[in-house]
Structure 1
Amino acid sequence: MSFDLFALRARKLSYALRVPLFRRALRAGVLAGVEHTPALRHLTPDLVIDVGANRGQFALVARHLWPAARIASFEPLPGPAAICRSVMAGDERFTLFEAAVSTATGNSTINVTSEDDSSSLLPLGEEHQRLYGSRVASTLTIKTGRLSSFIAPDRCPKACLLKIDTQGFELQVLKGSEELFPRVQLIYAELSFIELYEGQPLASEVISYLHAMSYQLVGVFNVAHDGADRPVQADMLFSCAAKE
């Protein structure tokens, strides 16, 4: 990848060492996702819904940026979920659901990769294996449900940010969250320009879906490229003006 991961991690580490909350997480081996700060620091959500929490990298940044906000994180893998609970321990406005958001309630099989932050409910694609050297190490049965089965829409404040990082499963998460859309002002999602997981909707399809739901793309951040300088994926921020 031409995206310099070593330089990114060095910048993240330098930032993390200056923030007490992030330093504590480093002792648990978790490096906060500080690369999201420029995209989000001007926002003021009352509730952050963190779908695809992994070890709490995004939750840490959310708490640093918004000390008074409620944070509801979703992580279906037991190992990362346990670490996420540990780094957020003592935070009374933080809740972790050990489940995946989807269009239906039940159980699904997730493909667990050797680097578990690439795990997905979709099969691993050839491009992901080529670019990142990923492989599926095991499978696991996890709990799934619509977002409204975990968070009641009438208890969701209007100043709500929905963050999604689910390895190709973003459109299913969005469709499984529609009951909360009247309360979700902002959506921040990692989307792909090429197929990294088999059958995943690409960024253009997700953007079209969100446009139909009255969300407009307002920012593109953290663009990753392959060795030929081709864009692979990016974090995208969407806003619904009617809810502002």
Structure 2
Amino acid sequence: MDERTPRRYRCPSALRRGLRRTDVPAGGRHVSLRPPCGRTAGEVRGELRLRRGANAGQYGRRLRQLGYTGRIVSFEPTEEAFGKLEKAAKDDPEWWVFPFALGREEATQSMHVGWATMNSLLGASDYGKERYRRFAKDRTEEIEIRRLDSVMDKALAGLTDPRPYLKMDTQGYDLEVFAGAGDRIEEFVGLQSEVAVLRLYEGSPGMSEAVAAYEDSGFGITGMYPVTREDTTGRVVEFDCVMMRAAAAPK
């Protein structure tokens, strides 16, 4: 199978032009981020972006490039990636970074590292091992896991009218992050989660299970964007699923 870095699906140029025309202008309370193309819940006017699985800060930098000036709170537990994230955010007073993961329970756990942007708390599935040779490596690092509801007050400190948006990219662990928000998930106006059609990680939820959990909490789908595809069959491996609460839509 293909060992190259997972390729982002490219929208046809005509479609990209059409999507641009419908975007909400970027600014202090508005930002449109297309992951990897099209409109997303960035248009829900979120005042606070909580990013779990921040890696080296690529998402945060992109938000700033698009004109978002509100607070970004990023969580990255691995030592090497956190060092890069901290460097990316050091001159930005409204980009807060924390060196731990988010999950259902507060704990210390071993994380599979050495998989580049695909590091995970879950082991690779048989399908994942067949698709990516990098999964043959199995180095681990002890990391700290916190619940999202335990850090929300700190993340929201100083904001008079917070409208948090949750961006997750945790390699099969998104539902665990979501569960750790507890009742405070009701405060979020939107979310983005990577959902699996073909599972790369052992024990990770399938797309239908993940989407059902988000819908049960009041979120509705605004877009499904292919992240990776199989080269030979064209089958989608994972989607970026973007969701929002209908009541949070701009008036």
Scaled by the length of structure 1, the TM-score of the pair is 0.81
Give the 3 Å change call, closer, same or farther, for CA 34–56 of structure 1 in structure 2.
Answer: farther
2:211 to 176, 188, 207: 207
**What's the counterpart of residue 118 of structure 1?**
118
1:184 to 183, 188, 191: 188
**What's the counterpart of residue 240 of structure 1?**
245
1:131 and 2:131 aligned: yes
- Cα RMSD of the aligned pairs, angstroms, is 2.7
**What's the counterpart of residue 92 of structure 1?**
93
Give aligned-pair identity as a percent. Answer: 24
Quote the Cα distance in structure 2 between the aligned partners of 1:9 and 1:222. 6
Quote the Cα distance in structure 2 between the aligned partners of 1:177 and 1:119. 22
2:134 maps to a residue whose letter is S
1:137 maps to a residue whose letter is D
Q: Is the 8 A contact 1:44 1:66 kept in 2?
A: no
Quote the Cα distance in structure 2 between the aligned partners of 1:230 and 1:208. 22
Give the 3 Å change call, closer, same or farther, for CA 154–35 of structure 1 in structure 2.
Answer: closer
Quote the Cα distance in structure 1 between the aligned partners of 2:189 and 2:229. 29
Quote the Cα distance in structure 2 between the aligned partners of 1:78 and 1:151. 23
Runs of 5+ in structure 1 lacking a partner?
12-32
Comparing 76-85 and 155-164, the one that deviates more: 155-164
Shift of 1:219: 0.5
1:64-75 to 2 correspondences below 5 Å: 64-75=65-76
1:32-181 to 2 correspondences below 5 Å: 35-36=35-36, 38-40=38-40, 42-112=43-113, 114-135=114-135, 136-152=137-153, 155=157, 157-181=161-185
Scaled by the length of structure 2, the TM-score of the pair is 0.79
Shift of 1:127: 1.4
Quote the Cα distance in structure 2 between the aligned partners of 1:83 and 1:198. 28
SS state at 1:224 partner? strand
Shift of 1:66: 4.2
1:184 maps to a residue whose letter is F
Give the 3 Å change call, closer, same or farther, for CA 7–97 of structure 1 in structure 2.
Answer: closer
Q: How many matched pairs? A: 221
2:48 maps to a residue whose letter is L
Quote the Cα distance in structure 1 between the aligned partners of 2:186 and 2:8. 36
1:197 to 190, 195, 201: 201
Runs of 5+ in structure 2 lacking a partner?
12-32
- CA offset digits 1:37-90 (Å, max 9, x no partner): 643464421100000000111111122234321000010001011011112220
Using CA pairs under 8 Å that are at least 6 residues apart, name the structure with larger relative contact order, 1 or 2.
2
Quote the Cα distance in structure 2 between the aligned partners of 1:57 and 1:51. 12
Quote the Cα distance in structure 1 between the aligned partners of 2:77 and 2:7. 30
1:165 maps to a residue whose letter is D
